[in-house]
Amino acid sequence: MHFNRYIAHWSSRYPDKVALVCEDRPITWREIDERSARIAAFLIARGVEPGDRVGCLLENSIDWCLAFIGAFRAGAIFVPFNRLFGRYELDQIARDAECAIVVSCAEDVAKLDVTHDADDPRAIHFYDLRDRDAPPVPLADVLAREWAFADHRRSDDDPIAICYTSGTTGIPKGILLTHRSVDTMVQGLTMTFQWSIGNERFVILAPLAFTGTVICVLCPLLATGGTGFIEKTLDASRALELIVRERITYFPGVPALFERIAAAPGFAEADISSIRTGNAGGAPVPRSLLEKFHRKGVTIRQQYGTSESSGAITNPELALALRCPESAGHPLPTFDIEIRDAGARAVPPDTPGEIWIRGPQMMQGYWRKPEANAEAFDADGWYRTGDLGRYDPELGLFVLDRKKNMLISGGVNVYPAEVERAMARIDGVEEVVVFGMPHPAWGDEVVALVHGPTLTDGAALVPRLRELIGPYKTPRRIIVSREPLPRTASSKVVRHGLQELFARLAGESSIVA
């Protein structure tokens, strides 16, 4: 369904119900309808046509959400800019997307080489990138004016957003998502999580510019008519207080976010039993972390998804998450999934291979990259994820690793993510990344970088690790890094440059023979 219809529906059915709250400032569904309509009318008046791109470079806020809704109501394609990106990355995205308008403030828009001498550098304006000499238009002026407006809605296949990957190894790619693809994902999650329409209470802690936040959290909120609580920045103690005070029912995030909440003062005493759905994605969740929340009566479900699939592909039912927390669950009702070998042939159940997916919630394609699209999809519409996994008909999908991360050491396949999960269970290990170093005899030598304030000796980890995994998977060298591991803006470990970092730190660590 087109998301314009959701805005109209909730404004009509629950006009005075609070839809969003940020910094104790609430906004109702009627106000969202009225204010986003004014933004849409302004964009159209400025010459924004259906399919034009409207960018947003703002911190988490209600105004960020209004910009998103206003853009798609005008028929524009929304482009979220990640404030954690550097100038070079942002410039690449702006040029690739060819945004007509960007919603930002003088402090942030300078990263796009737009100069604005504003009295208040945080005041939000609309900047016309087609005519950089045109004066920016304050958001406050747009919202204060009455506009004639009728929703643009041609088709459910209208694009809603271009979300750019942060990428751990290369240049961001634009992923073109449609109203239909995102709504299909939302309906799948609604069935899996058994959301109560109009009653769920979402917490939004990660940047809205992340695909996993705008598509997998904000869009489900708009579709189900719940109430969302937005935090501008992540303060773990404040977030924990919010979860308790507002009786949050849906808590999504990456494992690092759950770790920070679990480490917050007062977590042991906090009543977080209102959380019916704890949903983690982006990386494996250490069993120790799962157990911390389980003791509080909260089950974290490990979801598998990609930006290309509008977010979630699989998600375990509650009973499965309790029985086998390592499972990413079964596909959403809208997805087909196959595990294939190197020749793209389906393999027997529970056999490792590459994960292929197909369904109506897939992206329309990579933005202006026909060669990448031809490489990603086969003739029957199946998308190759580049991830390795195995599928058990009873227990669901087990994600092993990225295909390009798999190591062949002495002729045996080693999946770094599997080793990382085991190492994360060892006391004192807060961060770990496993990868390969060239070796004349072994091919790939399995090595690891670990970080933790109490860690001093990599060799000391080996006896415990060999209790958890086979000797051939155990890293032959483990280096303890005094600094946290390098990460992307979306909290994934940056893999390019790891071999150089390992070589540089090698003199400071223990060597495991």
Mean pLDDT for 166-195 is 86
Whose CA is closest to 142, among 66, 78, 83? 66
Look at residue 461 and give its three-state secondary structure. helix
DSSP alpha helix (H) spans, 29-119: 29-45, 62-73, 87-97, 106-109
Q: What is the dihedral of CA 21, 26, 31, 35, to 10 degrees?
A: -70
Looking at residue 168, its pLDDT comes to 47
pLDDT (0 to 100) of residue 508: 54
The whole-number pLDDT of residue 512 equals 44
Q: Please give the CATH topology (third level) of the domain spanning 3-178.
A: Rossmann fold (3.40.50)
Give the pLDDT band (50/70/90) at residue 187: very high
Q: For the structural domain made of 406-511, what CATH number should be given?
A: 3.30.300.30
Measured distance CA(448)–CA(459) in Å, rounded: 11
Give φ, ψ of 313 to 5 degrees.
-110, -45
What secondary structure does DSSP assign to 351-368, as a single string? --EEEEEE-TTS-SEETT
Q: Which of 214, 195, 188 is nearest to 359 (CA)?
A: 188
Contact 355, 399 (CB under 8 A): yes
Cα-Cα-Cα-Cα dihedral sign, residues 72, 74, 75, 81: negative
| Per-residue pLDDT reduced to its tens digit, 44-56 | 999 999 999 999 9
pLDDT of residue 472: 84
Q: What is the pLDDT of residue 511?
A: 43
Lowest mean pLDDT among 216-230, 378-392, 458-472: 458-472
Cα 218 to chain centroid distance, Å, stands at 12
Q: Long-range contacts: 454-457, Cβ < 8 Å, 24+?
A: 454/428, 455/428, 455/429, 455/480, 456/480, 457/510
Per-residue pLDDT tens for 123-165? 999 999 999 889 999 999 999 999 988 887 779 999 999 999 8
Alpha-carbon torsion (469, 470, 473, 474), positive or negative: positive
- Strand order across the 383-392 sheet: 336-340, 353-358, 383-392, 396-402
- pLDDT of 170 reads 54
Contact 405, 417 (CB under 8 A): yes
User: Which tokens hold the place of 502?
Assistant: 């390992």
CB-CB contact of 426 with 464 (8 Å): yes
Q: What is the pTM of this model?
A: 0.85
Residues 6+ apart with CB under 8 A from 243: 203, 251, 261, 270, 272, 274, 275
- Are 42 and 54 in contact by the 8 Å Cβ rule? The answer is no
Note the pLDDT tens digit of each residue in 262-309: 999 999 999 999 999 999 987 778 778 888 999 999 999 999 999 999
Please spell the DSSP secondary structure of 258-327, one letter per residue. Answer: HHHHHTSTTTTT---TT-SEEEE-SSPPPHHHHHHHHTTT-PEEE-EEEGGGTEEEEE--HHHHHH-TT-
For the chain, the domains span: 3-178, 406-511
Q: What is the mean pLDDT of residues 326-352?
A: 95
Mean pLDDT of 61-81: 98
Handedness of CA 496, 281, 387, 433 (dihedral sign): positive
Q: What is the pLDDT of residues 197-221, one digit of tens each?
A: 999 999 999 999 999 999 999 999 9
Tell me the torsion sign for CA atoms 194, 200, 203, 206.
Answer: positive
Joined tokens for residue 72: 């798609």
CA atoms within 13 A on the CB side of 51: 4
Tokens of 473: 């998977």
How many Cβ atoms are within 10 Å of 88's Cβ, its own excluded?
A: 10
Residue-wise pLDDT tens digits, 310-327:
999 999 988 898 889 889
Dig out the tokens for 354 from the structure. Answer: 């590459």
Token representation of residue 409: 């050491």
> Of how many residues is the chain composed?
513
